[in-house]
Structure 1
């Protein structure tokens, strides 16, 4: 993250949100959370990233993304998300407001500045287990829901107070357990732990999940063939900060032991469709992040590069490689308008399992609908910050999958369009929630979003 105060994290005080009317002002915050805004940019962004991503993305989505080589909830949102400064609190740092001593008090669900509903107080001061429900609307697996329990080693406000004593800002350690179920019989359950050392110089992410996914494979015939994917997923990752920069680099290991079974017409082009396969991949992850807020940015960029190889010595039953790169940038056009741009490429080589092939991921497009050896996407989103709390947005994207079944020129190009809205539900964290509605060729879908749709 850029070296900055909490204006970047508290969207109500950033340049795109600040308005004379109904403005949530920095100097109006109470003394208890005032210093948290200055010092907890690490805890809030990293801790809440893990919380919200794991709870709002189903474990099945994480499994599917990991096996296809795309970064899922266990990757981008946790171990590789939103690097922030190790804020050394000293005389040269910005002059924060002294935190009040912890006291037992009733949690406020309304902002004292504008009177609107706001969950900042609860999220900043919550300790222990945090139950978080989720609603699933992904067309590939149908409607459903789930719940996760998040266990924090300390509250974000506590992390801020400790940082003032130690001089180093570190996010809290987090353990999560959860499960989900959808209308087509897809279900999953998982366990995750996130830990940091050395003042956030080292980040560890570990996850274990059981998944039973029912979805369709299109492949060469471009028609849906239903199949079931049942297995166990293990993810281990360690990232190291490069100096005092925004860059992180480190190894990632993914192991997926699965059984696949076509429940209707068999996709003959995939060879032996009903089989037990193991994917054991080792790779390198490189991250860069300069967003002003990881949840709902108004400016800055995010970049991730990943190279992974599946080999027998790593536990894989077949050998192949995946190469993934994605970049997002947000450009402030004015005080009220923000333009977001996305470029995403996913490539594979070797004997890649059919369910692990890259696919086009766009709002309004069923996941796995356009799938082949390679996939690429571009997307643009224009947002209008109507008030400090409310914003509306429109977006459009295009993607194509090619390589094994069709050449790039022969492959179908898919275009999606849509619109949505967001409500700033936690002003002190810059956390917004809302709904996106999208359309592509022959498909319509809606999504309940936490922050940006780009993770």
Structure 2
């Protein structure tokens, strides 16, 4: 579950903000100091994902600074005094706890809890989440005909990564569990004949990460890459056996003092008896989630950002992707595309946390998305 959202009511709060919520930049609204001292960020969410319809949600995000933050701040201040031209060192990301839920007009719902934590000067990274969903979705067959179905289940995700020496490389294990129940209408798609309505996904994997981003939320420079190889087996709680390999890479490249180019490549490959709902799918703004889904997928996207002021930025983006392998081979698979524009406001400078809205056009539809930080997760 993604709690990507815009903090609505922003203008009214800005008018009432106390000095603790302001920065030194002409009293601009900034929640960095407040959030760093264990304050909660309420995140009302407007659900605009075409796959589940329109709806509302609410999340509470709690931020805290890693134990090493104060020490690193003193070291960085000293270093900057002696090397003013050097690129700033990325600080350890904040610890984050989130709780929230949502509901939409299609009677889809979800609620859950997540936590992200670092230890030992960002040498250990942990992420865990647990949630319950009830989603009304569409499955698209080989002829691109949609079949409505309901997906209910309890999901659990755990991962812990360890930094390799002083490098930007991280390695560690992951585990995902999803106890799912699916229910179609009176007619089951031909390609899904014989499937069980109750299926469990239990898979363990190995993750390799590379991270040189200047901040976790809305990077101005740096690279983030991740490769995960995982296996689902009965001993891990899975009702079927399959394998998955996913890889993604994001690059943020400063072109000029006020311009940043973002580049994204995202792939997923699967084999074995993988449930249809667990297959890789194309993720793009403007494209309905899981509409382009198959055994494999590959997606690429570009994003150009103009930092109009130190707080405000506007951006344009466009991308394309394909899902292939079971229903179509690569050459026959339909190409999904999404293009659009958006804006961000840097609401917590110390954290690099920005909020905003993206508007996108995709195959036969338009959509808008409220965002916290980058759209790339």
Alignment TM class, shorter chain as reference: 0.7 to 0.9
1:120 aligned residue: 32
Q: Does 1:232 align with 2:154?
A: yes
Distance 1:391 1:151 in 2: 25
2:252 aligned residue: 330
List per-residue Cα deviations over 1:25-57 (Å, max 9, x = no partner): xxxxxxxxxxxxxxxxxxxxxxxxxxxx95327
User: Does structure 2 conserve the Cα–Cα contact (< 8 Å) formed by 1:219 and 1:372?
Assistant: no
List per-residue Cα deviations over 1:179-206 (Å, max 9, x = no partner): 2211111111212344444444333333
Distance 1:238 1:158 in 2: 18
Q: Does 1:422 align with 2:336?
A: no
1:142 aligned residue: 53
List per-residue Cα deviations over 1:56-105 (Å, max 9, x = no partner): 27xxxxxxxxxxxxxxxxxxxxxxxxxxxxxxxxxxxxxxxxxxxxxxxx
Distance 1:285 1:437 in 2: 32
User: Does structure 2 conserve the Cα–Cα contact (< 8 Å) formed by 1:260 and 1:273?
Assistant: no
Q: Greater helix percent: which structure?
A: 1
Q: Decide whether aligned partners of structure 1 residues 420 and 196 sit closer, same or farther in structure 2, where only a CA change above 3 A counts.
A: closer
Q: Does 1:356 align with 2:278?
A: yes
1:410 aligned residue: 332
TM-score, normalising length from structure 2?
0.86
SS of aligned partner of 2:142: helix
List per-residue Cα deviations over 1:239-270 (Å, max 9, x = no partner): 11111221111110111111110135422211
Candidates 89, 103, 110, aligned match of 1:181: 103
Distance 2:41 2:52 in 1: 26
Residue 365 of structure 1 deviates from its aligned partner by 0.4
User: Does structure 2 conserve the Cα–Cα contact (< 8 Å) formed by 1:262 and 1:273?
Assistant: no
User: Does structure 2 conserve the Cα–Cα contact (< 8 Å) formed by 1:125 and 1:157?
Assistant: no
Segments of 5+ residues of structure 1 without an aligned counterpart are 1-52, 58-105
Question: In the TM superposition, what are the counterparts of 1:338-353 in structure 2 within 5 Å?
Answer: 338-353=260-275
Question: In the TM superposition, what are the counterparts of 1:164-203 in structure 2 within 5 Å?
Answer: 174-203=96-125
Candidates 49, 53, 56, aligned match of 2:4: 56
Residue 374 of structure 1 deviates from its aligned partner by 0.7
Distance 1:388 1:174 in 2: 25
Q: Does 1:156 align with 2:59?
A: no
Question: In the TM superposition, what are the counterparts of 1:437-452 in structure 2 within 5 Å?
Answer: 437-452=359-374
User: Does structure 1 conserve the Cα–Cα contact (< 8 Å) formed by 2:93 and 2:215?
Assistant: no
Segments of 5+ residues of structure 2 without an aligned counterpart are 6-17, 77-90
Q: Does 1:270 align with 2:179?
A: no
Q: Does 1:109 align with 2:57?
A: no
SS of aligned partner of 1:303: strand
Residue 422 of structure 1 deviates from its aligned partner by 1.4
2:289 aligned residue: 367
Distance 2:265 2:122 in 1: 28
Question: In the TM superposition, what are the counterparts of 1:10-21 in structure 2 within 5 Å?
Answer: none
User: Does structure 2 conserve the Cα–Cα contact (< 8 Å) formed by 1:260 and 1:275?
Assistant: yes
Q: Decide whether aligned partners of structure 1 residues 130 and 263 sit closer, same or farther in structure 2, where only a CA change above 3 A counts.
A: same
Question: In the TM superposition, what are the counterparts of 1:213-292 in structure 2 within 5 Å?
Answer: 213-263=135-185, 265-273=187-195, 275-292=197-214
SS of aligned partner of 1:420: strand
Q: Greater strand percent: which structure?
A: 2
Residue 288 of structure 1 deviates from its aligned partner by 0.6
SS of aligned partner of 1:360: coil
1:89 aligned residue: none
SS of aligned partner of 1:355: helix
List per-residue Cα deviations over 1:105-127 (Å, max 9, x = no partner): x6533323222222223222334
CA RMSD of superposed structures (Å): 2.6
TM-score, normalising length from structure 1?
0.72
Q: Which has the higher contact order (CA 8 A, sep 6+)?
A: 1
- Paired residue total: 352
Residue 292 of structure 1 deviates from its aligned partner by 1.9
Distance 2:43 2:71 in 1: 26
